[in-house]
Amino acid sequence: MKMYFKDLLVGSCFMDAKGDMKKKVSDGKASGFQLNGKVSTRKVKGNPEVEQSSCELRFLGVGLRRHPEVVVEIGDGNPYKNGRRKKT
């Protein structure tokens, strides 16, 4: 789904014009991964057209320091639902 960078919500992932996956961290900044695994955060020039997509797992905690009100949930929260638990 094509849209402009300014229209994305903070925390949304997108593909840029080069085809790289990035995540919107704030209104004017986006973060991405370098080849060596480091996270880089850079300003976005102008208001480019991007393609919104679902976030990859490696983007899970990126940008949360700037937005501590965001809650990330993993799993369903039921610790007893594991199928390997012995039944008595």
pLDDT per position as a tens digit, 31-78: 998 888 888 999 999 999 999 998 888 887 787 766 666 666 666 666
Residue 86 within any structural domain of the chain: no
- The pLDDT score that the predictor gives to residue 77 is 62
Residue 87 within any structural domain of the chain: no
pLDDT score of 25 more than 70 = yes
Residue 50 within any structural domain of the chain: yes
User: Phi, psi (5° rounding) for residue 26?
Assistant: -150, -175
Q: How many residues does the chain have?
A: 88
Could you tell me the pTM of the whole model? 0.70
- CA–CA gap between residue 36 and residue 17 (Å, rounded): 21
Dig out the tokens for 26 from the structure: 């704030």
Range of the domain at 76: 2-81
Residue 88 within any structural domain of the chain: no
Residue 14 within any structural domain of the chain: yes
- The pLDDT score that the predictor gives to residue 79 is 61
- Sorted by sequence, the CB contacts under 8 Å of residue 23 that are 6+ apart come out as 11, 12, 13, 14, 30, 31, 32, 55, 59, 62, 63
- The pLDDT score that the predictor gives to residue 75 is 63
The structural domain count of the chain equals: 1
